[in-house]
Amino acid sequence: MSDTPAPKPSVLFVCVHNAGRSQMAAAWLTHLAGDRIEVGSAGSAPAAGVNPAAVAAMAEAGIDISSQAPKVLTVDAVRACDVVITMGCGDTCPVFPGKRYLDWKLDDPAGQGIEAVRPIRDEIKVLVEGLIESLTAETPPAGH
């Protein structure tokens, strides 16, 4: 029995602007999974800043994402993670064999008020809880 811990699963959330859905998903995963899962987010065409309605909606849930900034999606970021979750970016995300890809069909909060963003935030939380369950239930292959 080795003392080295099993490698942590890593998840990359990707949407077009990395300003709403992917930021909320990354924040939920970090909040709910703690340090059990590595979390990243990126956009195929990053916005100048995070959607203020997404910041406000997450603040209502007790999670501060006001210091986050949209990041550009890179091939290296996709290559380095185990699971890529896309949210409306279609074919702009690079695909690598052996990665697990999920596409979450979520409304785009861009230009929406907080009333429209709250249900998206809550739907993302449910999806993230299911993701945590699936990632932490999987046993790593022998030899890893």
Helical ranges in the chain per DSSP H: 21-33, 52-60, 75-80, 114-137
Please give the Cα distance from 86 to 89 (Å, whole number).
6
| Contact (CB, 8 A) for 77 and 14 | no
User: Is 4 part of a structural domain of the chain?
Assistant: no
> Which 8-state DSSP code applies to residue 67?
T
Share of the chain above pLDDT 90, in %: 74
Catalytic residue list: 15, 89, 93
143 occurs within a structural domain? no
Whether 2 maps to a domain, the answer reads no
Look up the pTM and report it. Answer: 0.89
CATH code for the domain of 31: 3.40.50.2300
More confident residue, 143 or 51: 51
pLDDT digits (tens, 9 = 90+) for 54-65: 999 999 999 999
Examine residue 95 and state whether it is found in any structural domain, yes or no: yes
pLDDT tens for each residue of 13-49: 999 899 999 999 999 999 999 999 999 999 989 999 9
Judge whether 102 lies within some domain.
yes
Q: Is residue 1 part of a domain?
A: no
Structural domain containing residue 20: 10-137
